[in-house]
Amino acid sequence: MKKAKLHVEPTFDFELLGIVSPIRDYRMAWLINKELELSLVKEEDLELEFLNSEKLEIAQYFLSLPHGFIQLLKNKALNSTQQLAYLIPELKNIDYFLLVQDETEQLDLSSFMEKLAQNSLVQSIVRVDISKLKSKENLLTY
């Protein structure tokens, strides 16, 4: 019997901002809500299980849009063995990721970055090129 393999290429149809800030996740969500006039809401922690049987719980905040979403993900977390682990290990210096999918293209990421950068609690904010990330599949949470 002939076998067929199904190869699925995921699409990363969102923009990604990396945020460096020492504040806790609930405070970061509040800051983003205040500065960008959004309504991110705490969702159940995202659970990722890796092939090496390691489990990672990531704090997440979510806002559903008519044609997309905005999601805040914490990069650092404790894994199942209580050791520090990262959602995107190659970007250990980033504390949070803001995923923005807007099919209407009405949201202005440059303005998001400017507003957040002006806040003293945000040390740095950068636009991340998803295509250059090795562990980009970890960002597929929906």
In this prediction the pTM is 0.84
Q: Does 2 reside within a domain?
A: no
Whole domain around residue 120: which residue ranges? Answer: 15-139
Q: Does 34 reside within a domain?
A: yes
Q: Does 127 reside within a domain?
A: yes
Q: Does 134 reside within a domain?
A: yes
Token pair listed for 120: 């003293």
Q: Does 37 reside within a domain?
A: yes
Going by C-beta distance under 8 Å and a sequence separation of 6 or more, which residues neighbour residue 75? 86, 87, 88, 91, 92, 94, 95, 96, 97
Q: Which pLDDT does position 2 carry in this prediction?
A: 79
Q: Does 7 reside within a domain?
A: no
State how many domains the chain has. 1
Q: Which pLDDT does position 83 carry in this prediction?
A: 79
Q: Which pLDDT does position 10 carry in this prediction?
A: 65
- Rounded Cα gap, residues 94 and 88, in angstroms: 9
Q: Which pLDDT does position 46 carry in this prediction?
A: 84
Q: pLDDT of the chain along its 142 residues, tens only?
A: 778 777 666 666 788 999 999 999 999 999 999 999 999 999 998 888 767 667 888 899 999 988 888 999 999 887 777 778 888 889 999 999 999 888 777 788 889 999 999 999 999 999 998 888 888 777 776 5
Category of 72 on φ-ψ map: left (φ > 0), alpha (ψ -120 to 50) or beta: beta
Q: Does 81 reside within a domain?
A: yes
Q: Does 88 reside within a domain?
A: yes
